[in-house]
Amino acid sequence: MKLTTLIPMLSVSDLKRTMAFYGEQLGFDILNSFGEPEPKWCLLGRDSVRIMFNQPPRDELDALPKRAKDFQIFYFYPDDVASLHAAWKSAGLPVSELRVTDYGMKEFELRDPDDYWLWFGQDSSDAPTGHA
């Protein structure tokens, strides 16, 4: 048997805010959601990427160490990282500078409203830019 897909599920403090950010700012579609009258879970998708989000009780989220998300990175591979960076930068998203790393990736990152790291990268043969 083989595994065919991995879809992370991220816990967020305000699911409606997350759905708006990923939908309106990053171009994801709502593929499914659950919960009445307020959503408690959703599946969002863009191109071949899928991410699930849930909204656990606020006190449980608040008990987690704030720095825990510094060590969780969700790495996306767009087909044109420079164009994606330019479009999101001109739209006012808080993206980092586009750089070329020592490990051969042209990349940038941003944080979502719940401080998850979203990194976007593409293989590059350009010389490293020196500020990874």
Name all domains of the chain by residue range, CATH numbers in brackets: 1-57 (3.10.180.10), 69-132 (3.30.720.110)
pLDDT higher than threshold 80 for residue 32? yes
Q: How many CB atoms lie within 10 A of CB 102?
A: 10
Model confidence pLDDT, tens digit, residues 71-109: 889 999 999 999 999 999 999 999 999 999 999 999 999
- pTM score of the predicted model: 0.90
User: What sections of the chain are H helices per DSSP?
Assistant: 15-20, 58-62, 81-90
Query: CB within 8 A of 110, min separation 6: which ones?
Result: 88, 93, 94, 95, 96, 118
Residue 131's pLDDT is what? Answer: 58
Distance of CA 43 to the CA centre of its chain: 13
- Token representation of residue 58: 């606020």
Identify which has the larger pLDDT, 44 or 58.
44
